[in-house]
Amino acid sequence: DAKTTQPPSMDCAEGRAANLPCNHSTISGNEYVYWYRQIHSQGPQYIIHGLKNNETNEMASLIITEDRKSSTLILPHATLRDTAVYYCIVHFTNSGYALNFGKGTSLLVTP
Amino acid sequence: NAGVTQTPKFQVLKTGQSMTLQCAQDMNHNSMYWYRQDPGMGLRLIYYSASEGTTDKGEVPNGYNVSRLNKREFSLRLESAAPSQTSVYFCASRPWGSPLHFGNGTRLTVT
């Protein structure tokens, strides 16, 4: 699996957009970008994933650059409940692969 | 649907004791994973099972053994617990082409 690089921490004001970057310069053609978040010490929760097109769901938007070497997770109107650690990982969609997480980005949303 | 169920939720062991962490999923997923998370750290993969009957080492397998008992269950065993194994352990599962589903974790303290 391609390795990813994320900033260790970020701040965002409540109500503003939170833009979380992720670099994955060694991503291969069939690897997807997945984002998860972990609130407090709960089990991580899936947010969104994509291959090369931008994706949007009820939780967030995912913007993947044309060369696929980086992506940005966008929380359009951050709330205090979005304070969490956000993980970006890349992997094939097949089931049989090791899925390695890094340390993620700790996002603090402030009032 | 219970999703991914981990037992126990909390455990305290003395150095040298053994125990087995249980994980079961009721979603008919092929792949299952064990991660550990230390304070301020990300998730580190211990072992994974791509499908029933197969297991593979992850990043930090030393001191652990696993058993994929059937498609539903994937257990993690500590044969001789050490203080360095104090951690929160997460089990996860996923089917082909879909995101990971995590359990709520087992908080293990080794004294």
Q: Can you read off the two tokens belonging to residue B68?
A: 């994929």
Residue in B34, B35, B87, B100 to test binding to A, most A beta-carbons within 10 Å: B100
Strand pairing partners for B65?
A: B77
Q: Do B45 and A102 touch (CB under 8 A)?
A: no
Q: How big is the CA angle at B56 (ends B85 and B107), to the nearest 5 degrees?
A: 25
B11, pLDDT greater than 80: yes
**Are A96 and B51 in contact (CB < 8 Å)?**
yes
Per-residue pLDDT at A19: 98
Given pLDDT bands bounded at 50, 70 and 90, which one contains residue A1?
low
At residue A72's C-alpha, the angle toward residues A69 and A78, to 5°, is 170
Distance from CA of A11 to the nearest CA of B (A): 17
Residue B52: its chain A contacts at CB < 8 A? none
Contact criterion met (CB < 8 Å) for A43 and B102: yes
User: A104 in helix, strand or coil?
Assistant: coil
Question: Identity (one letter) of the amino acid at B7?
Answer: T
pLDDT-above-70 percentage for chain A: 96
Q: Tell me: the pLDDT tens digits for B41-80?
A: 889 999 999 988 899 999 999 999 999 989 999 999 999 9
Q: What is the pLDDT of residues A49-99, one digit of tens each?
A: 999 989 999 999 999 999 999 999 999 999 999 999 999 999 887 767 788
Q: What is the pLDDT of residue B96?
A: 79
**A42 Rama sector, left if φ>0, alpha if ψ -120 to 50, beta otherwise:** beta
Is the separation of the CB atoms in A97 and A50 below 8 Å? no
Give the residue from A36, A95, A97 with the most B CB atoms within 10 Å of its CB, the best one to mutate. A95
